[in-house]
Amino acid sequence: MHETTQPRQLSLNAFIYPSGHHEAAWRHADSAPDRIYDVSYYQEIGRTAEAAKFDAVFFADGPALRQNVKHYAAPGLEPITLLTAIAAATTHLGLIATASTTYYEPYNLARLFSSLDHISGGRAGWNIVTTGTDLAAANFGLAKHPDHAERYSRAREFVDAVVALWDSWEDDAIVLDTESGIYADPDKIHEINYVGRHLRVRGPFNSARTPQGHPVLVQAGASNDGRSFAGQYAEAIFTAHQRLEDAQAFYSDIKARAASFGRNPEHVKILPGISPFIADTEAEAKALEREFNELTVPAYGLGQLRNLVGKDLDHLDLDGPVPVELFGDAGDVTDNSRSRLQVIAGIVQREKPTVRGLLHRLAGARGHRVFVGTPEQVADTIEEWFTKGAADGFNVMPPYYPGGLEVFAKTVVPILQERGLFRTEYTGTTLRDHFGLPRPESQFAGRAAAAQ
C-alpha cells in the first residue's frame, strides 16, 4: 500500500474579540465582559484554540477609541503585549496582531514583532493595516487622517523598511566564540539605509533574525490599492465576503496578482471571515441568533452605520426600508472601509431589509459573513468554499466568547478532521509551518557589509 500524500489542508484562525463578534454579545449570559481586562481569560481562549489545533489567534487593533462604549464592550488591551502573554500559556498556536503603518514608527514596530517571534519560538504574524478610523489622526498630532493612497504609499515603504530591519542580521551573524572574544560577525550585520518618500531608516536592527526569518505578513485591505499591496507582500489575507461568487472572484484576483509579482500563489493564504451561530438544529441556531439580535441597542447600530456612510441617520424609521441613496456615493464620502461599504450595499440591494433588519445583519460581525446552522452545515459551507476556490481557510469569528469558540472547537473541528480537511496534530512548531509558508532568506545573505 502506498502512503497517500497529505491532501490540501484548511487553515483556521480564531479572531478574538473580547466578548465576541456580535455587537451585543457582552449583554448575553454566555459571554464574560467582566473579564475583558483579565489576561487569564485570553490565555484560556488561546489554550482552547490550541487544543483544537487552530493555526493562530488574531487580534484587530486601532490607536483610538473608536466605538461608542456607552453601549459596547470595546477591546482594551494592546494586542502585542496580550499575544506575548498568550505565547507564555501555549506552545504551538500562531499569534497574529494588527498594527498600523500610518501611526507607528518602523523601528519601534519591527522590534515588538521581532521580540514576539523570538519569545514565542516563531509564532508571530503581523496584520498590516493602514488604519481604518480617522479618529486616530488627532491622537498623533495630525490635522487629518492621511488619504487612502498616501496611507498605502507609506505602508509599502514601512513594510520594506521593517523587513529590511528584520533581515539586517543574517541568520548566522551570532558567532558566540567565548574563547576568542568574538560575539558576532560585523560582516553579517547590515545597515539598511532605507530612504523613501515617507521614511528614512538607517539600521542595523538591534536584534538577531527571528526563528521564522521574519514574522508572517498578513493583510486585510480589499480596495484596489489594498489588493495590489496584498498581492505583493501578504502571506495571508483576511477578507470579508457574503457570497461564494464574490469570495471566488477575490480569491482568483489575489492569486493572480501574487503570480504577477513572481510569487508562488500557494504562499498567499486567503482567509475569509465566518461568524457561525451553531446549535444542534437549524431552528435552534436561528433562535440563538435572534436572542443576540434582540439584545442590540439601535442607537449604537445607527451610530456605527452613520460613521461608515458619513451621513446623519437619526431621522430613519427603524421599521421602514433602508433608503437606497444611503450608499449611492459612499465611495466618495469616505475612503476608509470602502470594501466594507460595498459589502453592505450588496446586502441592501439583494435583501431589501428594514433599517432594523440591516442593523441586526450588521450586528453579527460588522459585514463579515454570519452563518447560522448545525455543525454539519457549518462544516459543509467551509468545505464548499475551501474546495471551490474561494478560501484557503477561515478566520473564525465566534459571535460570543468564550462559548462560541468552544462549540466550534467541539462540534465543527472534529467533522473537518474526519473529512481529512484539517490537522489532528500540529506537524510543525511555527506559524509558517502551520500555514505551509517557506522561511524567507535574509535579503542581505551573502552581501558584504558596509564598511563600519
Ligand X SMILES: Cc1cc2nc3c(=O)[nH]c(=O)nc-3n(C[C@H](O)[C@H](O)[C@H](O)COP(=O)(O)O)c2cc1C
Binding residues: 61, 98, 148, 152, 223
Residue 74 contacts its own copies per CB under 8 A: yes
Binding segment toward ligand X, per CB under 6 A, in 35-43, 221-229, 296-304, 421-429? 221-229
User: Among residues 447, 411, 389, which one has the least CA distance to residue 270?
Assistant: 389
Which of 159, 192, 220, 305 binds ligand X (CB under 6 A)? It is 220
Q: Which does 273 bind (CB under 5 to 8 A by kind): ligand X, its own copies, none?
A: ligand X
Q: Is 261 one of the binding residues for its own copies (CB under 8 A)? A: no
Helix 355-365 vs helix 282-293: angle between axes, to the nearest 10 degrees? Answer: 100
Number of residues lying near its own copies (CB under 8 A): 70
Cα–Cα distances in angstroms (integers) from residue 101 to residues 41, 106, 144, 240, 258, in the given order: 29, 8, 16, 21, 21
Q: Which residues pair with 271 in a beta bridge?
A: 238
Considering beta carbons, is residue 220 or 316 the nearer one to ligand X? Answer: 220
Q: How many CA atoms lie within 13 A of 200 on its CB side?
A: 1
Provide, rounded to whole angstroms, the least separation between the CB of residue 332 and its own copies: 26
Out of 73, 189, 222, 302, the only residue in the binding site for ligand X (CB under 6 A) is: 222
Q: Are 85 and 38 in contact (CB under 8 A)?
A: no
Query: CB of 181: closest distance to its own copies in angstroms?
Result: 5
User: By CB under 6 A, what part of segment 50-69 binds ligand X?
Assistant: 60-62
Q: Is residue 338 a contact residue for ligand X (CB under 6 A)?
A: yes
**What is the rounded CA–CA span in Å between residue 211 and residue 83?**
17
Q: Is 273 in the site for ligand X (CB under 6 A)?
A: yes
**Out of 31, 210, 239, 374, which residue is the one contacting ligand X (CB under 6 A)?**
239
Which residue, 75 or 272, has its beta carbon nearer to its own copies?
Answer: 75
Pick the closest to residue 212 from 445, 446, 434 (CA basis).
Answer: 434
- Judged by CB under 8 A, which of 1, 3, 7, 108 binds its own copies? 108
Which residues belong to the annotated binding site for FMN? Answer: 61, 98, 148, 152, 223
Backbone angles phi, psi at 417, to 5 degrees: -70, -45
Among the listed ranges 19-27, 203-211, 215-223, 315-323, the one in contact with ligand X (CB under 6 A) is 215-223
Is residue 19 within 8 A of residue 35, CB to CB? The reply is no
Per-residue exposure over 401-428, b if at least 16 CB sit within 10 Å of its own CB, e if not: bbbbbbbbbebbbebbbeeebbbeebee
Quick one: 244 or 313, whose CB is closer to its own copies? 313
Burial of 237 (0-12, 13-18, 19+ CB in 10 A): buried
Decide which of ligand X, its own copies, none touches 361; Cβ closer than 5 to 8 Å per partner kind.
Answer: none
Exposed/middle/buried for residue 25 (C-beta within 10 Å: 0-12, 13-18, 19+): buried
**Which set of grid coordinates corresponds to residue 80?**
502585542
Residue type, 398: P
- Is there binding between residue 135 and ligand X (CB under 6 A)? no
Rounded Cα distance, 434 and 7, in Å: 14
98 binds ligand X (CB under 6 A): yes
Cell 454570519 maps to which residue?
370
Q: Provide the b/e sequence for 82-117 (b: ≥16 CB within 10 Å).
A: bbbebbebbebbbbbbbbbbbbbebbebbbbbbebb
Alpha-helical regions (H) of 52-182: 79-88, 106-119, 148-167
Give me the least distance between CB of 44 and its own copies, in Å please. 13
Q: If contact means CB under 5 to 8 A according to the sort of partner, which of its own copies, ligand X, none does residue 131 touch?
A: ligand X
**3-state secondary structure at position 354:** strand
Residue 232 as a binder of ligand X (CB under 6 A): the answer is no
When asked if residue 85 is in the footprint of its own copies (CB under 8 A), the reply is: yes
Which does residue 228 bind out of ligand X, its own copies, none, counting CB within 5 to 8 angstroms by kind? none
> Binding marks (x or -) toward ligand X, 137..156, rule CB under 6 A?
-----------x--------
**Residues at the interface with its own copies (CB under 8 A):** 24, 26-28, 33-34, 37, 39, 43, 62-66, 68-78, 80-82, 84-85, 87-89, 103-105, 107-108, 111-112, 114-116, 118-119, 138-141, 176, 178, 181-186, 189, 199-208, 295, 297
**Residues at the interface with ligand X (CB under 6 A):** 60-62, 98, 129, 131-132, 148, 220-223, 225-226, 238-240, 273, 337-339, 395
